[in-house]
Structure 1
């Protein structure tokens, strides 16, 4: 196991899109023992609790952050630093090599796997559910959402699910794309009636509901069960990182580290078999 300085272990970079587009694509850093590590910039959101969010000190924390930090501890030759990145800029930053990996509860889908590299080892098993204002009983399924206004973030797996449904539905779900780009804003729109519902992960939903004291509830059965992986750009560097990180994710799964982190952040073990 490598030894690093406290500064490198806790390093978090909070930047906007302009900072991402102007940042360096590759660099090295000197560790406590004098060796050179390649720095891998990992993109993640800063408003997606409990997976990735900014704490009271404006540093990124959460389940996904802790998983990458555990990988970092066990992988010699690399240092991982986090870049707070809006969802709608995430894959642009990856494609332009402003970040070299994404750890942001990204679900594996056939469409995404055609464009990007995912770790074979999933580090979280996520559900997709419908959330509405408490007391509402008419929305339980995707079909129930047809003709209703549903909050959406462009390009995420939950929105893609709704867009795919619309391709074959007689009546479209009316997608209201968020200008802010944050799930918490959409959940507040459900609360105040701007939209009828939102589709996302129940753990994040419950975390935001508690934080903002929202009177919402999850309804119906899970729509989808997703496997979550770390994402890389296609190419030599991505292939190298994927192979290295897959081995470590398997270790973290087998020795119970992922289960412990899942319980810490979600109160349950949501680890794929």
Structure 2
């Protein structure tokens, strides 16, 4: 059952713990995936709701519906028991339930149509490892950045690729509509068109292509590539310096094609709610909860 809650201003936001992510967006009739309180599973959690103060707060329909591309580990994916989990899911718990007192649920959707789906009203916001880009910012408004990522290249350990130029004339796999696809397209331009790009609806399809020798590399976010590197003995990062080192960032020990920031996406007419979410994001960073969640999902996946 839907209900409306008035979210209080910053003075009424409590200190919180947890995190969430950002992806999603598809048409009507998509599967809805709800998330539990502390376990981040598939039923919305209970808890106290801020008192209704229309003069102070915002009118929010509950459960808050979050568009997300699932699966996209480690940001949003299912455990063996079927529960929904991931960095974005944990952030959502921290920000929306623990900080803002809102029940919420994730709605599964395709990433390549996620922004039109948001603007069509299929969900209230997007949390789906979404990079803040100028062309996207023309269609949606973003929260403050909550995650830094790099586009990277995953290859077969005993394959024919040893450096970036070895990709010339070869086929790489990407996920449709992502900045990984954009990075591959830029690489194709750098190679004067001498690169074939195969785009898949889900990142799992791209990695299946790599493992089945239908592609020599996967171009994708470092943390997602790291999950496959850690789980598959035959998959490794392509090494070398790149954009992160050139920008003077704390570069990871593998080649980086881009440096990106993730944000939560909102419709253009949702500015007040976006401001409250930014306040909640700031609160979980200040409390140390953000660092706890980051360590849970990424500390062991940094190389």
Please state which band the TM-score falls in when normalised by the shorter chain: 0.7 to 0.9
Q: CA deviation at 1:269?
A: 10
Q: Which of 202, 215, 224 is 2:222 aligned to?
A: 202
5+ residue gaps, structure 1, are: 4-14, 23-28
- The corresponding residue for 2:251 is none
Structure 2 CA distance for partners of 1:246 and 1:208, relative to 1, 3 Å = same
Q: Which of 171, 179, 188 is 2:208 aligned to?
A: 188
Q: CA deviation at 1:243?
A: 0.7
Structure 1 distance, partners of 2:78, 2:154, is 24
Structure 1 distance, partners of 2:214, 2:161, is 17
Structure 1 distance, partners of 2:168, 2:274, is 39
Q: Which of 225, 230, 245 is 2:264 aligned to?
A: 230
How many pairs align?
A: 244
Q: Does the CA contact (< 8 Å) of 1:108 and 1:118 recur in 2?
A: yes
Q: CA deviation at 1:32?
A: 6.1
Describe the SS at the equivalent of 2:129: strand
Q: Is 1:66 the equivalent of 2:90?
A: yes
Q: Is 1:50 the equivalent of 2:74?
A: yes
Structure 1 distance, partners of 2:259, 2:73, is 19
Scaled by the length of structure 1, the TM-score of the pair is 0.78
Q: Does the CA contact (< 8 Å) of 1:263 and 1:269 recur in 2?
A: no
- The structure richer in strand per residue is 1
Structure 2 distance, partners of 1:269, 1:209, is 9
Q: Is 1:264 the equivalent of 2:286?
A: no
Q: Which of 124, 128, 132 is 2:147 aligned to?
A: 124
Structure 2 CA distance for partners of 1:216 and 1:21, relative to 1, 3 Å = closer
Cα distance per residue 1:131-184 (max 9 Å; x no partner) = 11112353533x543321111222111101222343454234211122xx2212
5+ residue gaps, structure 2, are: 1-11, 15-24, 33-43, 53-59, 240-254
Describe the SS at the equivalent of 1:106: coil
- The corresponding residue for 1:219 is 238
Q: CA deviation at 1:203?
A: 2.2
Q: Which of 173, 184, 195 is 2:195 aligned to?
A: 173
Structure 2 distance, partners of 1:232, 1:223, is 27
What's the Cα RMSD here?
Answer: 3.0
Structure 2 CA distance for partners of 1:209 and 1:218, relative to 1, 3 Å = closer
Q: CA deviation at 1:214?
A: 5.3
Scaled by the length of structure 2, the TM-score of the pair is 0.71
